[in-house]
């Protein structure tokens, strides 16, 4: 609001004094002087009036320009003025609403208690902010984000209310879409891991006397080879068909995809024929799949268990299913294994691997960080690196982090593994600075468990101090699901503190969890990383294209940079560029590579340019390529 016409102006007072003086001063000359003073005072007042007028006009122009609706009411909440955006959003012109009580625009969705709280807050604090449903002229209701301020006059008496609102119906629709994809595996449309947990828990809760749950984890043998031979697209098609066939077979049951080539099946039953049921699944899936003229017969490994005998909690059952599946895999392909308590203890083949990982951590010798560049879309320039962990197992070769990180998490090794990553990334940054390589942030992946166990902050500050690297050079990628996990405590102040230290913060795998706009608004974030599941089928897949466009629009509104990962083709890149994406990462630009390879390609010192050569788009990184495709 502009200040009212002000009497606090010396020249105005000089003019007033001059005016009184002309009335009683006897001397003509003195009267002349006084008249001049009056003229100066008048000129000053005129200037002020013009300035007020200009201010008012600027204010009006600003109101006309803004995309937000604005309503100004008097102290009794009667509408005095609205801006053009108000008319655009609601359909009402000023004439139609002038003098009406502003709350009469609200949709009849809110109860009196809501409005009581609204007025209480407004009276106590002079402001209110929140979500409110309003009704448009043509009757449909829409959600808006409303900010209200009480305005007082010079004497402190309430004179007006100013209400600013944004139509968030589009955002709401996007939020719904995003929430749906948080529960659904985008490839098959089946429930995803998170949803399967919920579904299993709910079936367990509703078990009646005499009923049991049969649960099976089905893994396709050698799927990676099929994928390599037929291409990812055909591989995806096969997974979708596989899911469909499974879902048809277990009508009334639950079928979902845990990720990769792992599917889960649950049925509620009164029969005691677990093994026969599993054999039936296998027989049904043994029929060949027709794909691109090929007839494919799949080998399956199945781990299974039965509730309540093998457990009453979905977490326990998930773990036991995995034990059973690993045990089945040890028997070679095409084998089924029902959970046995012995699998939980010493027999678990994973335990061998866990011991190996413990050993690797103790020496650090088998662990490596590989770095993948992140590139600005408008000019291709390198803007950062993501550090990706690798484990070079002496017997099994390179093991994917997607395989051993869950293992580390389950067996209490994640904190040490995470600390190793922090230290290694910082050591590398320190070395790069010494070598005169360009100063770009390295982003590390932070596991949910590192957040829960609360050692993250101390590991970070110790590492920064040890290597003398500023926090701004170490970005933190945090997966979306962590943000809503109450085990992490209230995450906002922790992120706030990390960011205050200088760490940039990104939400990883955005779109795969419970994407919620409300936390994005609340949290201190620098970037959103759009999960590669959404990039993969671009630009052909209309659903993915719509999701990506929606996320980009939403991020723009929230002033967040978006980085798309898994960009493999020029068509994907072009789509993302047109949709307004800022930064990309993917095989099209570079594969993850060991630090030594990047250092070897650095330009010789003294050549002036410090820019790093970008790895050849199709350039082979040898055996490491195999790990990229998750
Ligand atoms: P992420 O954070 O989503 O990492 C990106 C993954 O996509 C990496 O797989 C990368 O190699 C791969 N990738 C990059 N560009 C492309 C592409 O164009 N196409 C395809 N198909 N894939 C691409 P990677 O290295 O196997 O890592 C898998 C996951 O393991 C990561 O997913 C991350 O969640 C986790 N991870 C990796 N390193 C660490 C770590 O140091 N700490 C923690 N906590 N997790 C890590
Ligand atoms: Ca990541
Ligand atoms: Ca990701």
pLDDT digits (tens, 9 = 90+) for 253-300: 899 998 889 999 999 888 899 999 999 999 999 889 988 887 888 889
Q: How many angstroms separate the alpha carbon of residue 423 from the centre of ligand 3?
A: 22
Q: Is 246 in contact with 289 (CB distance < 8 Å)? A: no
The CB of 628 under 6 Å from ligand 1? The reply is yes
What's the token pair of residue 136? Answer: 């448009």
Reading phi first (left if > 0) and then psi (alpha if -120 to 50, else beta), residue 513 is in beta
Phi/psi of residue 413, nearest 5 degrees: -105, 0
Please, what sign has the CA dihedral across residues 551, 556, 558, 563? positive
Give distance in angstroms: CA of 581 to centre of ligand 2: 17
pLDDT digits (tens, 9 = 90+) for 542-551: 878 888 888 8
Report CA(374)–ligand 3 centroid distance (Å). Answer: 13
Q: What percent of the chain has pLDDT over 90?
A: 39
Choose one of 388, 408, 421, 627 to mutate for the ligand 1 pocket test, by most ligand atoms within 8 angstroms of C-beta: 388
> Could you tell me how far CA 234 lies from the centroid of its own chain?
29
Q: Is 388 in the pocket of ligand 1 (CB under 6 A)?
A: yes
d(CA 614, CA 382): 8
In three-state form (DSSP H/G/I as H, E/B as E, the rest C), the secondary structure along 230-270 is HCHHHHHHHHHHHHHHHHHHCCCCEEEEEECCEEEEEEEEC
472-486 per-position pLDDT tens digit: 999 999 987 676 655
pLDDT at residue 274 in the model: 95
The CATH T-level fold of domain 182-346 is Alpha-Beta Plaits (3.30.70)
Is-contact 237 226, C-beta < 8 A? no
pLDDT in tens, 374-404: 999 999 999 999 999 999 988 888 888 988 8
Give the span between the Cα atoms of 450 and 476, in whole angstroms: 12
Q: Is 18 in the pocket of ligand 1 (CB under 6 A)?
A: no
Q: Which of 367, 389, 398, 401 to mutate to test the pocket of ligand 1 (most atoms within 8 A of CB)?
A: 401
- Going from the C-alpha of 11 to that of each of 154, 317, 336, 380, 560, the distances in angstroms are 22, 85, 96, 60, 50
pLDDT of 216 over the 70 cut: yes
Alpha-carbon span 94 to 451, nearest angstrom? 52
Please identify, by atom number, the ligand 1 atom nearest to the C-alpha of residue 446. 44
Residue whose CA is at the smallest distance from ligand 1 atom 24: 628
pTM confidence score: 0.53
Nearest 5 degrees, angle CA 300-CA 306-CA 311?
125
Cα-atom radius of gyration of the chain, to the nearest Å?
33
Kindly identify the ligand whose nearest atom is closest to the C-alpha of 628: 1
Residue 586, ligand 1, Cβ within 6 A: yes
Task: Match domain 349-360+368-600 to its CATH number in 2.60.40.790, 3.40.640.10, 3.20.20.450, 3.60.15.10.
Answer: 3.20.20.450
pLDDT at residue 450 is higher than 70: yes
Answer whether 562's CB lies under 8 Å from 549's CB.
no
pLDDT (0 to 100) of residue 188 = 86
- 574 C-alpha to center of ligand 2: Å? 22
Which homologous superfamily does the CATH classification assign to the domain defined by 69-167? PAS domain (3.30.450.20)
Residue 74 has pLDDT above 90, yes or no: yes
**Alpha-carbon distance 491 to 350, whole Å?**
32
Q: Record the tokens describing residue 302, joined without a space.
A: 């199945």
pLDDT, averaged across the chain:
84
* Alpha carbon nearest to ligand 1 atom 28, residue: 402
Smallest CA separation from ligand 1 atom 33, residue? 445
Ligand 1 contacts CB of residue 372 (under 6 A): yes
């Amino acid at each position: 609001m502009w200040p009212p016409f002000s009497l606090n102006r010396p020249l105005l007072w000089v003019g007033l004094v001059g005016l009184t003086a002309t009335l009683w001063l006897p001397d003509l000359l003195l009267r002349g002087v006084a008249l001049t003073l009056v003229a100066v005072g008048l000129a000053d007042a005129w200037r002020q009036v013009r300035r007020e007028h200009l201010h008012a006009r600027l204010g009006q122009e600003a109101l006309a320009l803004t995309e937000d609706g604005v309503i100004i009411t008097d102290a009794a909440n009667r509408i005095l003025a609205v801006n053009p955006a108000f008319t655009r959003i609601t359909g009402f012109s000023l004439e139609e609403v002038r003098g009406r009580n502003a709350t009469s625009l609200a949709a009849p969705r809110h109860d009196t208690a809501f409005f009581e709280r609204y007025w209480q807050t407004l009276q106590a604090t002079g402001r209110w902010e929140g979500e409110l449903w309003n009704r448009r002229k043509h009757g449909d209701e829409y959600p808006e984000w409303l900010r209200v301020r009480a305005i007082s006059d010079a004497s402190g008496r309430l004179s007006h209310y100013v209400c600013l609102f944004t139509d968030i119906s589009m955002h709401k629709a996007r939020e719904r879409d995003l929430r749906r994809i948080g529960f659904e595996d985008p490839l098959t449309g089946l429930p995803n891991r998170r949803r399967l947990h919920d579904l299993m828990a709910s079936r367990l809760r509703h078990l009646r006397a005499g009923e049991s749950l049969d649960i099976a984890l089905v893994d396709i043998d050698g799927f990676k080879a099929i994928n390599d031979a037929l291409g990812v697209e055909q591989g995806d098609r096969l997974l979708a068909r596989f899911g469909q066939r499974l879902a048809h077979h277990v009508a009334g049951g639950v079928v979902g995809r845990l990720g990769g080539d792992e599917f889960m099946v649950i049925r509620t039953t009164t029969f005691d024929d677990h093994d026969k049921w599993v054999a039936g699944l296998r027989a049904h899936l043994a029929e060949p799949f027709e794909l691109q003229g090929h007839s494919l017969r799949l080998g399956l490994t199945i781990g299974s268990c039965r509730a309540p005998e093998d457990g009453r909690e979905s977490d326990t059952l998930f773990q036991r299913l995995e034990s059973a599946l690993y045990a089945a895999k040890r028997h070679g392909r095409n084998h089924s294994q029902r959970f046995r308590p012995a699998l939980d203890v010493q027999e678990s083949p994973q335990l061998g691997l866990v011991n190996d990982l413990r050993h690797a951590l103790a020496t650090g010798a088998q662990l490596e960080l590989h770095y993948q560049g992140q590139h600005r879309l408008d000019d291709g320039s390198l803007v950062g690196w993501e550090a990706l962990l690798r484990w070079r197992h002496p017997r099994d070769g390179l093991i994917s982090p997607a395989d051993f990180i869950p293992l580390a998490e389950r067996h209490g090794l994640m904190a040490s593994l995470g600390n190793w990553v922090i230290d290694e990334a910082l050591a590398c940054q320190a070395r790069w600075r010494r070598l005169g390589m360009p100063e770009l942030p390295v982003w590390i992946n932070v596991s949910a468990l590192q957040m829960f166990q609360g050692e993250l902050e101390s590991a970070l500050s110790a590492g920064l101090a040890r290597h003398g690297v500023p926090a701004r050079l170490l970005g933190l990628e945090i997966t979306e699901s962590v943000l809503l996990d109450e085990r992490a405590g209230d995450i906002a102040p922790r992120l706030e503190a990390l960011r205050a230290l200088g760490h940039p913060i990104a939400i990883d795998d955005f779109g795969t969890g419970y994407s919620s706009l409300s936390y994005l608004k609340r949290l201190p974030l620098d970037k959103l990383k759009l999960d590669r599941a959404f990039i993969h089928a671009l630009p052909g897949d209309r659903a993915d294209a719509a999701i990506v466009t929606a996320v980009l629009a939403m991020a723009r509104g929230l002033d967040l940079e978006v980085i798309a990962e898994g960009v493999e083709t020029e068509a994907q890149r072009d789509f993302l560029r047109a949709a307004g994406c800022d930064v990309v990462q993917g095989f099209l630009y570079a594969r993850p590579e060991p630090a030594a390879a990047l250092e070897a390609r650095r330009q010789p010192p003294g050549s002036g340019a410090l820019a790093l050569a970008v790895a050849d788009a199709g350039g082979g990184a040898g055996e490491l390529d195999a790990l990229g495709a998750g």
